[in-house]
Amino acid sequence: MRIAAVQHDIVWEDREATFAALAPQVGRAAAAGAELVLLTETFSTGFSMTPGIGEPQDGPSAAFLAGQAAEHGVWVGGSCPEIAPTGGEGGGDVEELPHNTFVLAGPDGTTHRYRKLHPFSHGGEHERFRAGEGPVTVTVGGLRITPFICYDLRFADVFWAAAPDTDLYVVVANWPAARRLHWQTLLQARAIENQAYVVGCNRVGTAGDGTEHVGDSRIISPMGELLATAAGVETILLADVDAAEVAATRDRFRFLADRRG
């Protein structure tokens, strides 16, 4: 399967302007043969803590992903602030906090969701977003895909737990330039220790709060080899991944069976 990671800028809290900028990039990725196109964390708004930033489930950001998937006949994913339906009574004037939700939309109209397990408490995300409940793995074209979001990358245990059922980890992010070495190193470590592909899709540009982002998106093999990389400009990374390569690597080096705990 050919994977595309779209390393893009975001118009701060302006969904429509960002959609207009991203649509041609998704089209270019699809034209290059990508079957799975990845956008970044909070791809449509930036990493905003503004009250009321949350959307209803299947709101404008999810609708954009679904529309692009249908138009180009590919899978398209990225995260957005979504308020999960509760089925209960309304909360009156109490603000409903969203989840930071990775939405994966398929060309057949199906949609899968993963909600970020680890809100970024250092930046106050835990005060503005709810935490998710567990990892989610989706099989697309015979490839088992487990998505995570930004700060989740620092928690190796959740990657370890998902490893037996994962061929490809997806990590979408708004990772800051100030800690770019951590991003680069941890992505490669997660690939090596889990013997799986890892795609890290990070934004570029300056956020509305002044945070600088330099991308450093990359696609990494189960042996930790860098298949595609990018630095500080908008671009599209492409690489072919194969579940058989994951199985062969794990058969050749049987490390996962020796894990404890």
Catalytic residue numbers, as ranges: 41, 116, 150
Packing angle, helices 15-31 and 60-72, rounded to 10:
20
- Give the residue among 200, 198, 197, 199 at the shortest CA–CA distance from 249: 197
> DSSP letters of 83-125?
E----S---TTSPPPPEEEEEEE-TTS-EEEEE-SS--GGGTH
- CB–CB of 98/53 below 8 Å? yes
- CB–CB of 201/7 below 8 Å? yes
- CB–CB of 18/43 below 8 Å? yes
- CB–CB of 84/57 below 8 Å? yes
Rounded-to-integer distance, Cα 251 and Cα 82, Å: 40
Rounded-to-integer distance, Cα 108 and Cα 26, Å: 17
Backbone angles phi, psi at 43, to 5 degrees: -65, -25
Q: Strand 197-202 to strand 218-220: parallel, antiparallel, or no bridges (unpaired)? A: antiparallel
